Amino acid sequence: MKKRAVRFILALTALSVLVWFIGEILIGIFIDRYWVSVVWAVLCLIACCAYSLWKCPREPEKDEEEDEKK
């Protein structure tokens, strides 16, 4: 795994945890409903996975061809 991919994963994880945590605090202060918290957590997880699949750094096809030759 390349450094670029590792940095992307770590940055995305840190950002998603921060967004989730801030949302949980706001939900706890203003709404105070258990099901809203569960829905928020599921939405954060789905959004993180969708963004990761959409924007994740992919390795060029040339690298895969070189690995197959070895």
Domain residues of the chain, as ranges? 3-56
Helical H segments across the chain, by residue range: 3-26, 34-55, 61-69
What local confidence, expressed as pLDDT, does residue 4 receive? 84
Q: Report which of residues 57 and 16 the model is more confident about.
A: 16
**29 DSSP 8-state letter:** I
Pick from 53, 54, 56, 50: nearest CA to 4: 56
For residue 65, pLDDT beyond 70: no
With 0.85 as the threshold, say if the pTM is over it. Answer: no
**Radius of gyration over alpha carbons of the chain, in Å?**
18
Q: Average pLDDT over the chain, rounded to whole?
A: 84
CB atoms within 10 A of CB 49: 12
